[in-house]
Amino acid sequence: MFCKLKVAVDFLRIVVCLLLSRPFGNIIHNIADKYDGRISIAVLRKFEKVAVESRKAELDLNFLKNCQSFHVFLKFLCFPLPNTSNHDVLAIRKRLLRTAITRRTRELRKLLLARDELSYDICNILNGVDFYILQKAVNRNVWKAVAQIIKTHTKKLEMLTRNVVLPFDSKETVTNLSSGRLTYDQLDILKFSLTHSICPPRIDKSDVFVCFELIHDTMVKKLQDRTQNPKLVSALSHLAHSYSLAHRPTVADLKSYKLLKDLRKNKNIVILKPDKGNGVVVLDRTAYDSGILKIISDTSKFKVLAEDPTLLRERQLQRFLRKLKATGHLDADTYSKIYPTGSPPARIYGLPKMHKPRGPDSVPPLRPIVSSIGMYNYELAKYLCCLLQPHIPFNYCTQDSFTFVAEIQKMRLSGNFMVSFDVESLFTNIALNECIDLAVK
């Protein structure tokens, strides 16, 4: 049965390819004759025209946004402005470019609406095969019409920017595996990855002043002449007030902030970074929750607790640290740094393994990450890490991938094989008691 179905699908593909090899005029004439006046050639021509114009509008809008990103201006914006300073000329040209982008965005919205309406009306008349053939033929004509426009835009941008690398596309970094569709602006802000920061719409002056007070507390301890403290206070105060008053977010910053805020409000999706490399992955909340639930349901690695032991363990560590301080094993600075108060419990989250093989539309497996930031023993672990780091042997370790490549290039591997082993869930399979014993010894 499966073999017969595969043969039928292959035969249908061959027939469609043969039908699409005809000129576009013949295709729409045959469709119009087949449906006997229910659809006219003029409507089909209009559908093709609107599809071409909407694609041209998308390319024009993308070109204008690229010019905005590179801070370059087209000739129609560079007309002479007599008796105007360079600063004002730049501001006027930026404003005109934003106006051109806004106007082209409105035109694109109207064209897409007209295209969707025509597509819906035609789809209700044609059967599935004829509508598929029509769409393929229209897309072929659209590509022919815009191919030269793409080359022209690329050439113009290279001339304006003097061959600076063009801005990368969101498809290179953003993978949307959710059932929802992200807008162009949302994809454009996500393509810079989750570490990208924007200017906040407002800042709290009290937070700024507290930061500068902490800076003062650190610097005043290193002053050799304490009589210079008033000058230090005056200089830091001037910097703090200047910083808070100079905060002026741009329109682009406010727009980016609103886009990120809207994405955060969407409770149906989860935005993550991939397990390996940089980028952004968007998953459905239900798919992400089921992946995490599958991980924590493994009773060999996790178990259900009757109550949260965080406060109990925090008090135990507090008593132990007080005892170490009383016996003189901890100095006051170290004690105050690692002494826990109001500690939250650990939290688990997952990072999608995009490098693992999977189906085209399937959700990738998640790598569990147990974040202990802020836990009762977090600062203690950082302190112990500094003590243990000098005693870790590096005979069989490498610093990073770049060092590994450099070392491999120096080796002669003729007649030998290089094998790579991957440990599944490495950290959850480590024997903790044995690891602690090795660290103590």
**Would you give per-residue pLDDT tens digits along the chain (441 residues)?**
545 455 454 545 555 555 555 677 778 888 888 887 788 888 888 988 999 999 999 999 988 888 887 888 888 888 888 888 888 888 888 889 889 999 999 999 999 999 999 988 888 888 877 888 888 888 888 888 888 888 888 888 888 877 666 566 788 889 899 888 888 888 888 888 888 888 888 888 888 888 889 888 888 888 888 788 888 889 889 988 888 888 888 888 888 889 999 999 999 999 999 988 788 999 999 999 999 999 889 888 888 888 999 999 999 999 999 999 999 888 888 999 999 998 999 999 999 988 887 776 678 889 888 888 999 999 999 998 888 888 777 777 777 778 888 888 888 777 777 888 877 767 767 788 888 887 777
Q: What was the pLDDT predicted at 110?
A: 93
Any domain includes 159: yes
Q: How far is the C-alpha of 319 from the C-alpha of 316, rounded, in Å?
A: 5
Q: What's residue 313's pLDDT?
A: 93
Q: What's the whole-model pTM score?
A: 0.60
Residue-level pLDDT at 113: 93
Residue 256 shares a structural domain with residue 162? no
**Of residues 158, 147, 135, the one with CA closest to residue 66:** 158
Same structural domain, 263 and 398: yes
Q: Same domain, yes or no, for 149 and 263?
A: no
Pairing of strands 347-352, 280-284: unpaired
Residue 64 falls within a domain, yes or no?
A: yes
Is residue 41 one of the residues assigned to a domain?
A: yes
* End residue of a domain, out of 145, 167, 189: 167
> Are residues 292 and 382 located together in one domain of the fold?
yes
**Gap between the Cα atoms of 57 and 20, Å rounded:** 26
pLDDT at 254: 87
One domain for residues 20 and 162 = yes
pLDDT given at position 320? 93
Clarify whether residues 152 and 281 are in a common domain: no
Q: What is the dihedral of CA 113, 119, 123, 127, to 10 degrees?
A: -160
Write out pLDDT tens, residues 55-90. Answer: 999 999 988 888 887 888 888 888 888 888 888 888
Q: Please indicate, yes or no, whether residues 157 and 303 belong to a single structural domain of this protein.
A: no
Q: Residue 268's pLDDT is what?
A: 92
| Domain membership flag for residue 416 | yes
Residues 296, 436, single domain; the answer is: yes
Domain boundary among 120, 143, 167: 167
Query: Which residues span the domain enclosing 401?
Result: 249-440
Residue 211 lies in a domain: no
Q: Within 10 Å of residue 142's Cβ, how many Cβ atoms?
A: 17
Residue with tokens 């006997």: 36
Residue 259 and residue 124 share a domain: no
Q: Are residues 153 and 17 in the same domain?
A: yes
Q: Is residue 116 part of a domain?
A: yes
**Whether residue 267 is found in the same domain as residue 152:** no
Q: What is the pLDDT of residue 82?
A: 82
Domain end marker among 140, 167, 194: 167
- What's the rounded Cα separation, in Å, for the pair 155 and 153? 5
Amino acid 11: pLDDT: 47
- 132 and 257 share one domain: no
Q: Which residues of 97-126 are buried (b: 16+ CB within 10 A; e: fewer)?
A: beebbeebbeebeebeebbeebbeebeeeb
Long-range contacts, stretch 19-26, CB < 8 angstroms, 24+ apart = 19/133, 20/133, 20/136, 20/137, 20/140, 24/48, 24/137, 24/138, 24/140, 24/141
pLDDT attached to residue 14: 56
Per the domain annotation, does 399 fall within a domain?
yes
Name the helix (H) or strand (E) containing 257: helix 251-265
In a domain, 192, yes or no: no
Number of domains in the chain: 2
State the Cα–Cα distance between residues 47 and 117, nearest whole angstrom. Answer: 10
